[in-house]
Amino acid sequence: GNSVTQMEGPVTLSEEAFLTINCTYTATGYPSLFWYVQYPGEGLQLLLKATKADDKGSNKGFEATYRKETTSFHLEKGSVQVSDSAVYFCALTMNTGNQFYFGTGTSLTVIP
Amino acid sequence: DADVTQTPRNRITKTGKRIMLECSQTKGHDRMYWYRQDPGLGLRLIYYSFDVKDINKGEISDGYSVSRQAQAKFSLSLESAIPNQTALYFCATSDPSGVGGANVLTFGAGSRLTVL
């Protein structure tokens, strides 16, 4: 079946630190991969996506590369800010797009 | 106005009561979803609908029902609420022909339900 496993949280970092949140997936085929972010009191919103192997998604200083050989889509940011404090979800959908599969979410807190 | 609007945003109710959560969207998308979020469990799919005449059960549909009243409206009902249905509920829409070829979800702000 299809599933997503992501790094457990919570994660606490100081401002300007480097961020990595690990995400690996299992899929019976070639999925599209996503990172969604949920700010406090809000719904999830798309952060970045990649639709095929070796694609790099990027947005707001965040990056993730679709690695088929390691079935991974790790989220990185070189210098986090307090405003990046949120819960981050890794997700996949197959090309049919019938269903989305989410990881359990990783809470990030950035302290000044 | 938000692309996906959920009402109510917060609701406290008692065991055994019937509850309806409503969702409306202005995206013009055919596909709509209801998810439930619990701490440590991520998002789990309750029901989804690909058009007005199409309703499908998701991973955790027991105890829930849905109605797709129009392309823009998709409501979730709890016929007889129980405490373990206390959770944050999200409605979402998607367009499989989206930009870049990716089927991206657009979420509402969520409805927090507490069942006492």
In tens digits, chain B (116 residues) has pLDDT values of: 679 999 999 999 999 999 999 999 999 999 999 999 998 888 999 999 999 999 999 989 999 999 999 999 999 999 999 999 999 999 999 987 765 556 889 999 999 999 99
**B42/chain A closest Cα distance in angstroms:** 4
Chain A residues inside the 8 Å CB shell of B109: 41-43
Q: CB under 8 Å to A79, separation ≥6 — which residues? A: A16, A17, A18, A61
Q: What is the mean pLDDT of residues A41-66?
A: 95
d(CA A43, CA A65): 24
Q: Which of A34, A102, A106, A107 to mutate to test the interface with B (most CBs of B within 10 A)?
A: A102
A1: pLDDT strictly greater than 90: no
Q: Which residues in chain A have their CB less than 8 angstroms from residue B48's CB?
A: 98-99
How close does chain B come to A36, measured CA to CA in Å?
9
Nearest CB partner across the interface for A43, out of B96, B104, B107: B107
**Number of DSSP helices (H) and strands (E) in chain B, helices first:** 0, 11
Cβ contacts of A100 on chain B, cutoff 8 Å: 33, 45, 103, 105
**What's chain A's average pLDDT?**
93
